[in-house]
Structure 1
């Protein structure tokens, strides 16, 4: 799916104000006309995988707090309020609307018209009239060609690097700017309406049985209380400082359970004439509200806290009416906050969210949180500007890269992220992000080898909390036998089964939302992860990387992880069947490319093993550990053997057992990490560079003329070994960003930028924004949306000038 060649113009700009002075418009932002659709967006590769379509916008809300999303059409349509779970769908009543009276009177709800007939009396904003722009965590709607006033809405949450408080807050700020460029006064009214969804975001089947999906992945049933509003009620809030509404439910248990809590929206007092309506019916035509608002910008005054009956829906709204003299400019902040303090995983497995460390845990703090945001939003906005300034001013980075670098952070909020309250053991809480929405388990270690660079650089304490969780999990065991999906043919009785977790095997992941994340690991069962040949190396490399790049002084972190380092390497060494120092792959896919068979010593896993031994020697020497001498012996034996077995004069062979001539794009990941960590090269530098050139020419340039990115594995002539293969013929977005970082590291600067730019184009010009997938194909399909690994773009930032970052 070739991209629009002119579209990269969207990513460039000077950051200057628009002609009318209404808005400080951001440069390096992804932009799209408001409500503009996609003719041929990428479509999902497998029917069982998630594909909500391209109408994704920037998520709002702090890490682990639950988030919401507003599309480029203005619709609120993403509801990741229940930790780890996904709900997508527009609620038309959740909307901003705007009234204007000048030479003519007009009013529009600032979203797209519902297709199901709801709110049919409302007038909906015409598509194409204005621009939506995003540079996470800020986004803008610029409304043009409809109203006489010049109108902008900036949206953001306090996503602040090295901040472990406000970054967790469940708040969204909408900063509206109105300017009157005419020679006549204008009367405007801004309305925010919201459907009461309290109680909807909890799983009614929290301990459902696990099934095997058609692609071999384990799945479970998630059944929220969507639409069940009996007991919900709304009330107006008016004080000397702020006014708005609060949405609640009765009874409200103490302590609250999952789904219990409230919403609140506030604006400052004194900015105009306030109108409130605490109860209206959002499922009908909406005429009761709209007839008043569209005539003069007012609302029928209703302050009715009557709870909804069974089957009934209730919504609230407020409007602020004000006048603008000719040439006048006015800013109005609107804050939306939510307080759902409890996340329940398996039945009875309850965690409080991180933001509850800074308020109580009663689920009645939405107004308090919103009021705090009203007081602090200008400070937060300036702090975001400050931390992004080195990115935007970086002299060596192109604008498209700056845009994608910021926007790929979206997954830390909307990727089912968890951030628990603090404890004595975990003073900043525990953190986790899903591998993706289709593979719904947390912090897959093989994926985060590339996908954790953003967390490392911006929130290093969260990064180390994840690695501590893996260190704690490595010695544990769970003998429960499970069906291995790769071999499953539909008969549970004859299916191949394996233990869930062997002691000292590094777990693949930190568990799933329906069980007990951090404690019950290895949720995935597509392969037997106890046999994987990359996980132990990944763990060791990440521990040393995190220690090194957070100053090299956190000896407590190093000591806490060291026993797990030893256990992990010992476990992997047992797969060295011939005693040459190199573990062998077993034939069944037993590494991150879990649909791709490797046999014998492989370039990918063998290289990671060599780099991991070097990292363990460096860390163990610092800690004065006796195992270092053993690792030196293993390394001295294995390093020459690796080169001898796999180097063919042009590149490193896929493996020693399959006889394949495929050039694997990620064959030298171990060398990339060795150089990154300042370790000794695992292969001769000239061989590394020759192999990297071969990878670039074959997997990227020869794969559909470099239009899509680098395929995972092709024959030297650029053709597939098997035209029906899955992983070899996919372009993995995160692997491509990692490969670009490797190219840059080895001095192939132009090649690095060219590769990364092509992948960024595919994501942001074909409807994949804010749901970046693991893989795309040359047929315009994708797999595994909202994936963790694409944050590997931050690896390219690190090697190409990350010292300028906060």
Structure 2
């Protein structure tokens, strides 16, 4: 095997897989109605809120999140890198995907996939960088590094719709080698928008809501390609003749540098990617050239057109050369419901005409090396830490993929929102934005790295709390049950509920087909107006975002204060016996929304106590800096509730070893997240929710029952997962067995909840246990084809639920607690 050239430095902590190597038994989706695109996912490329693309470890471009919040997963074969090589009289040429096109490009030769015992190369990823290293096929050493300018605490370049591909070629032989690298791309302008404007909401068999998305794939009539450039750069711009940009309208561009001393550049601005591909492959496979055709003829009805750029060069023995290719796009408009349009953040820097793809590409060619250095400067201190294992550093960075891939929105700035508004989907199955219960853990990465975006999300929640929406809709949980079971289990008399009650903290900030940030509470699986954790989640995240960003942003607290008061008073209305602490209703009314809690619960009760402490702490800050008599009145009320709640919580739920699930069900289940409130209290320097000795005992019990004994139980039951632990289940009996073998949420391993538990373990001095648990979950994701589509839940039967899930970014909470020790 040839030695990798020393000029390409791939961190040892990067996730790696042989090019084209499949998975013998990748995990499959638990429910047929949920999304399962299969394991061929690679690191996404593109800026936050700009739309993104994905290229898998077999080399194909197959993920297209160009339309904000919408998902297209299919290989488009004409979007491709290819390589030509000549050594002496011997030539070879490959399209650099191991997946041959189906029904087109029949003249192309596809790169061989790795086989058992014979690697053809390696794909590696450490977000926002990834690499293809090609081996044992070409005589030259060839590497492609891919990245976008994602940099911590950067609110400009991080939004750019750009993918940079830097190719490094090295000649390890004693003879000259001629190489040519070609980038082909289809003109997909107009494809990525929903042809169904404001589509109707429907319900899946699991009770979750969805709507149809029908992109205009393949509709290219009128699209045309234009050669452009200057003395230093050359590119092809692919667009249409649309006068003003609507969603899906704009431009693509491919570009590279000119350097007549080192390489030649060839182009073809119009070829047919739906045909056999011979018009580009014939000349490229012969000598690495293209025909230099410049043809702006628009595509006819039913026709698709592509463009191509090739760079040919000769390497002397021992010589190394680096060549950049740029892919950029300019689709400035995101449309929610018909006529509800937002401009994307990057348009603050490149304009809103939809005709700036070349300007964006030219900017990348000028600055990509500087951007690369900024990424290294941000990442290297973590990569170089000897006290963190490589698998942890790998997952830490790679779980940030969701900020690009997760349907992210980032609007243009205005006076009210000086860095714009931001949002990420809960996941692609549950397609609504910034679910507040999920981001209680899942927002740590955003907070620690892009705190201004984090605060913009919390401000959106604060603005939404006073609002109401009287429309009613079907509640999916009840819809999936028989009427008899519905009434028996919950006492519910109706499957209908009002969408948003004034004073209630919304579950989410809306969905892509309505009006994100304005029409909240899109989810209808449960009536989230009845949830007992959301108000507390909001208050805790406000104070967390203040404390962990320097504890000096008084204006942020002022903006959120009225919403804090209103939502805590609303949540107190569920304290039916007036003992100071709200009760759960017997319906699933919190983040574990298939799991019924009754009376005072450890999970919601602990969050309530921590939230009251946070509200009191905020009030003291505001009294000092922004005195108001109403604040004094509120803090007195909160203190009364707090004094009542503390005694009730400890007396009612502590059983001498751990905290009971709740006060009325009689369950002996050990809940994995029973002390989330205690974790947050310690994180924010607030008084403990429970005595330290009780917290220690409960945490040890959780680790033993939900992780150690649960995995022993799984193995004893003959699970398909025999040789490792899958993580901690949400809730089992003290011996690790299920209370109800048919339960859903209690027996699932939730990736983000596990990472939150691990952060709590670190906080309480159980670092070894934390890392053992974290590694078990990370291995499940990255060894079983779940990379770059991390699910919410993994089961003991090698299935998963809800891929591309936000909560898994909670791994940054572990890093934060490790760094604070």
Is this contact kept in 2: 1:183–1:326, CA < 8 A? yes
Q: What does the per-residue CA deviation read over 1:44-97, in whole Å, with 9 as the maximum and x for residues that have no partner?
A: 000000000000000000000000000001100000000000000000110000
Q: Against the structure 1 CA distance between its residues 490 and 757, is the aligned structure 2 distance closer, same or farther, given a 3 Å change threshold? A: closer
What secondary structure, in the 3-state scheme, does the structure 1 residue paired with 2:144 have?
A: strand
Counterpart pick for 1:84 among 60, 64, 69: 69
Counterpart pick for 1:401 among 387, 392, 413: 392
**1:19: how far off?**
5.0
Is this contact kept in 1: 2:60–2:75, CA < 8 A? yes
Identify the residue that residue 388 of structure 1 maps to in structure 2.
Answer: 379
Q: What does the per-residue CA deviation read over 1:407-456, in whole Å, with 9 as the maximum and x for residues that have no partner?
A: 00000001000000001000000000000000000000000000000010
Unmatched 5+ stretches in structure 1: 1-16
The separation in 2 between residues aligned to 1:485 and 1:478, in whole angstroms, is 18
Identify the residue that residue 783 of structure 1 maps to in structure 2.
Answer: 801
Q: What does the per-residue CA deviation read over 1:457-502, in whole Å, with 9 as the maximum and x for residues that have no partner?
A: 000000000000000000000010110000015999x961010000
Identify the residue that residue 345 of structure 2 maps to in structure 1.
Answer: 354
Is this contact kept in 1: 2:268–2:309, CA < 8 A? yes
Identify the residue that residue 790 of structure 2 maps to in structure 1.
Answer: 772
Q: Against the structure 1 CA distance between its residues 703 and 765, is the aligned structure 2 distance closer, same or farther, given a 3 Å change threshold? A: same
Q: What does the per-residue CA deviation read over 1:264-311, in whole Å, with 9 as the maximum and x for residues that have no partner?
A: 111111141111111111112112211111011111232111111111
The separation in 2 between residues aligned to 1:643 and 1:444, in whole angstroms, is 29
Is this contact kept in 2: 1:22–1:151, CA < 8 A? no
Identify the residue that residue 104 of structure 2 maps to in structure 1.
Answer: 118
The separation in 1 between residues aligned to 2:43 and 2:330, in whole angstroms, is 20
Kindly indicate whether residue 650 of structure 2 is the aligned counterpart of residue 651 of structure 1: no
What secondary structure, in the 3-state scheme, does the structure 1 residue paired with 2:73 have?
A: coil
Residue correspondence of structure 1 range 516-535 to structure 2 within 5 A: 516-535=515-534
Q: What does the per-residue CA deviation read over 1:199-250, in whole Å, with 9 as the maximum and x for residues that have no partner?
A: 0011111211111111101111111111111111112223201012111112
Counterpart pick for 2:178 among 159, 175, 187: 187
Kindly indicate whether residue 742 of structure 2 is the aligned counterpart of residue 724 of structure 1: yes
The separation in 2 between residues aligned to 1:531 and 1:330, in whole angstroms, is 62
Counterpart pick for 2:251 among 242, 245, 262: 262
Unmatched 5+ stretches in structure 2: 115-119, 484-492, 624-630, 713-723
Counterpart pick for 1:447 among 438, 446, 466: 438
Counterpart pick for 1:701 among 702, 708, 719: 708
The separation in 1 between residues aligned to 2:266 and 2:100, in whole angstroms, is 25
Identify the residue that residue 41 of structure 2 maps to in structure 1.
Answer: 56
The separation in 2 between residues aligned to 1:112 and 1:304, in whole angstroms, is 30
The separation in 1 between residues aligned to 2:470 and 2:682, in whole angstroms, is 38
TM-score normalised to structure 1 length: 0.96
Identify the residue that residue 4 of structure 1 maps to in structure 2.
Answer: none
Q: What does the per-residue CA deviation read over 1:612-647, in whole Å, with 9 as the maximum and x for residues that have no partner?
A: 000001001111121111111111111021010000
Q: Against the structure 1 CA distance between its residues 18 and 427, is the aligned structure 2 distance closer, same or farther, given a 3 Å change threshold? A: farther
Identify the range of structure 1 (72-81 vs 206-215) with the bigger mean alpha-carbon deviation. 206-215
The separation in 2 between residues aligned to 1:113 and 1:168, in whole angstroms, is 31
The separation in 2 between residues aligned to 1:264 and 1:187, in whole angstroms, is 26
Identify the residue that residue 540 of structure 2 maps to in structure 1.
Answer: 541
**1:121: how far off?**
1.0
Counterpart pick for 2:92 among 100, 106, 113: 106
Identify the residue that residue 339 of structure 1 maps to in structure 2.
Answer: 330
**1:360: how far off?**
1.2
TM-score normalised to structure 2 length: 0.94
Identify the residue that residue 635 of structure 1 maps to in structure 2.
Answer: 642
Kindly indicate whether residue 454 of structure 2 is the aligned counterpart of residue 436 of structure 1: no
RMSD: 1.3
Residue correspondence of structure 1 range 147-546 to structure 2 within 5 A: 147-250=138-241, 252-254=242-244, 256-270=245-259, 271-489=262-480, 496-546=495-545
**1:262: how far off?**
0.3
Is this contact kept in 2: 1:18–1:24, CA < 8 A? no
Is this contact kept in 2: 1:258–1:342, CA < 8 A? yes
Is this contact kept in 2: 1:22–1:152, CA < 8 A? no
**1:793: how far off?**
0.2
Is this contact kept in 2: 1:233–1:248, CA < 8 A? yes
**1:395: how far off?**
3.2
**1:22: how far off?**
4.3
What secondary structure, in the 3-state scheme, does the structure 1 residue paired with 2:367 have?
A: helix
The separation in 2 between residues aligned to 1:722 and 1:278, in whole angstroms, is 62
Q: Against the structure 1 CA distance between its residues 611 and 75, is the aligned structure 2 distance closer, same or farther, given a 3 Å change threshold? A: same
Q: What does the per-residue CA deviation read over 1:577-613, in whole Å, with 9 as the maximum and x for residues that have no partner?
A: 1111110000110000000000000000000000000
Is this contact kept in 2: 1:253–1:260, CA < 8 A? no
Identify the residue that residue 592 of structure 2 maps to in structure 1.
Answer: 593
The separation in 2 between residues aligned to 1:776 and 1:442, in whole angstroms, is 22
The separation in 1 between residues aligned to 2:228 and 2:56, in whole angstroms, is 28
Kindly indicate whether residue 781 of structure 2 is the aligned counterpart of residue 796 of structure 1: no
Identify the residue that residue 143 of structure 1 maps to in structure 2.
Answer: 134
Kindly indicate whether residue 689 of structure 2 is the aligned counterpart of residue 671 of structure 1: no
Is this contact kept in 1: 2:409–2:424, CA < 8 A? yes
Is this contact kept in 2: 1:610–1:635, CA < 8 A? yes
Residue correspondence of structure 1 range 733-772 to structure 2 within 5 A: 733-772=751-790
**1:802: how far off?**
5.7
Q: What does the per-residue CA deviation read over 1:543-576, in whole Å, with 9 as the maximum and x for residues that have no partner?
A: 0000111111111100000000000100000111
The separation in 1 between residues aligned to 2:325 and 2:770, in whole angstroms, is 42
Identify the residue that residue 94 of structure 1 maps to in structure 2.
Answer: 79
**1:18: how far off?**
5.6
Q: What does the per-residue CA deviation read over 1:251-270, in whole Å, with 9 as the maximum and x for residues that have no partner?
A: x122x111110001111111
Kindly indicate whether residue 26 of structure 2 is the aligned counterpart of residue 41 of structure 1: yes
What secondary structure, in the 3-state scheme, does the structure 1 residue paired with 2:167 have?
A: strand
The separation in 2 between residues aligned to 1:662 and 1:481, in whole angstroms, is 35
**1:116: how far off?**
1.8
Is this contact kept in 2: 1:233–1:308, CA < 8 A? yes
Q: Against the structure 1 CA distance between its residues 18 and 671, is the aligned structure 2 distance closer, same or farther, given a 3 Å change threshold? A: farther
| Runs of 4+ off more than 4 Å | 489-492
Is this contact kept in 2: 1:64–1:420, CA < 8 A? yes
